[in-house]
Structure 1
Amino acid sequence: MITIAVLEDNLLLSDRMVSILRGWDQVYSVCAFASNQAFCAHASAETVDILLADLNVEDGSGVESIAYLSKAQPESMSIVISALSDSESIVSAISSGAVGYLHKDDSSFEIVASIKTALAGESPISPAIARKLVGRLHSSAAPEKPCGAPVERTGQQILTAREIEVLNLIAKGLSYSECAAVLAISEQTVPVHVRNIYRKLHAKNRSEAVYEARFLGVIT
């Protein structure tokens, strides 16, 4: 059973999401908040497994709540549900700890299905958001060095061979159970490897881990 928090200052939308979530038999409790201050006060005292956060709330950007929860409760997960689709907002949310980003105009996403995707170790992202993110990463990538030039790869030896195998698979979008099947290891072992990968690469989620690993030359 999981606990879910909804950060949304549009009362109609907030009530709709809460109603949907309360109908899911895997949910223990759902709480709704219209401001960062109210949510952070709640998260300082209560466990939050999943945060569904808008980025435009009463007292600023929902990124504040995402960052607070990521630090206060590292095992939690945040998913953005926002009308904002500019690359700065996307990167800011993901860098702060969001594992998914759904656009409010994306009629294809379902709240429960998106949470299940996150719980399976994948990242629920609307196609339009994914394109913006890829474009941002491409534009900020460092230029290639001339052939034969020395390459600094300070993280080359950070990960073990098994961790690199796991990272390569999750970079391709495989779930934890699929990774376990491919590598013939226990499904419970995969999250352990993933946590070690995040810690060693100083990453908060899959997207950051893959980006850092590629930047360092750990994976291609």
Structure 2
Amino acid sequence: MSNINVLIADDHSMFRQGLKQILELEDDISVIAQACNGDEAVKFTREKKPDVILMDINMPGINGLQAIKEIKLERLPSKIIVLTIHEDREYLFKTVQMGAEGYVLKDAEPSVLIEAIRNVFNGQSYIQANMTTELVKEFNRVTLHEKEKGEENLLTAREIEVLELIAEGMINKEIAKELYISEKTVKNHVSNIFKKLNVSDRTQAAIYAFKHNIKS
């Protein structure tokens, strides 16, 4: 059985230590480093090349999202599991779009996290079951809406650009910066997109964009 070297990135020392003790009860898992912020997570990933990183989102310095972005941009080979309190599907979409291989909530049973670690180490993706269920529900809802809407729901060129960036996981502030428009204008475009596509949130809009390969 291959040994899986793990890096824990979380700003709470007691959580890191407790998690380390749990993981190292497994014969095939070793915690080789601990990072208390995103900067250390990137630094230790470069130096120690862990097989799997358990990445919190809310950390001082650069946060987990920024750390994921840097690690993926540098094409470092470590697999990333987001380990977070956030049940918001927008975070799930954003991290998956950025290249994270897994998403697990901090209140999950240890067996769930251990299964996730082994799965991503073996080249698979892992999203905690209840999160996957929510995504399936959203996909089905969007599919139903598509059957009901007509040609009058076509988006403008600018709305397509905004939708494409929503699908990439950008928040309104980031979209405004990318398109050189005000955040208020972005909010108006997002509102119009929701109305035209008959969706109620960014997750549903992103699913529509993925399914239809929306590109500006």
Q: TM bucket by the smaller chain?
A: 0.5 to 0.7
Structure 2, unmatched stretches of 5+, are 151-207
Secondary structure in 2 aligned to 1:57? coil
Structure 1, unmatched stretches of 5+, are 147-210
- Deviating 4+ runs (over 6 angstroms): 139-142
Secondary structure in 2 aligned to 1:90? helix
Shift of 1:131: 3.1
User: After superposition, where does 1:9-158 map in structure 2 within 5 Å?
Assistant: 9-27=11-29, 29-107=31-109, 109-135=111-137, 143=146
User: After superposition, where does 1:194-205 map in structure 2 within 5 Å?
Assistant: none
- Kindly indicate whether the alpha-carbon contact (under 8 Å) linking 2:22 and 2:110 is maintained by their aligned counterparts in 1: no
Report the structure, 1 or 2, having the larger helix content.
Answer: 2
What is the rounded CA distance, in whole Å, between the counterparts of 1:35 and 1:140 in structure 2?
37
What is the rounded CA distance, in whole Å, between the counterparts of 2:44 and 2:108 in structure 1?
29
Q: Deviations over 1:149-206 (max 9, x none)?
A: xxxxxxxxxxxxxxxxxxxxxxxxxxxxxxxxxxxxxxxxxxxxxxxxxxxxxxxxxx
What is the rounded CA distance, in whole Å, between the counterparts of 2:104 and 2:54 in structure 1?
10
Name the CA shift for 1:213/1:55 in 2 (closer, same or farther; >3 Å).
closer
- 1:201 corresponds to which residue? none
Name the CA shift for 1:60/1:26 in 2 (closer, same or farther; >3 Å).
same
What is the rounded CA distance, in whole Å, between the counterparts of 1:32 and 1:136 in structure 2?
36
Shift of 1:90: 0.9
Secondary structure in 2 aligned to 1:42? helix
Deviates most, 81-90 or 116-125: 116-125
May I ask how many residue pairs the two structures share in their alignment?
154
User: After superposition, where does 1:136-215 map in structure 2 within 5 Å?
Assistant: 143=146, 215=212
- 1:4 corresponds to which residue? 6
RMSD of aligned alpha carbons: 3.2
TM-score, length-normalised on structure 1?
Answer: 0.57
Aligned partner letter, 1:65:
A
TM-score, length-normalised on structure 2?
Answer: 0.58
Structure number with greater Rg is 2
Shift of 1:35: 0.3
Secondary structure in 1 aligned to 2:101? strand
Shift of 1:37: 1.0
Identity, in percent, stands at 20
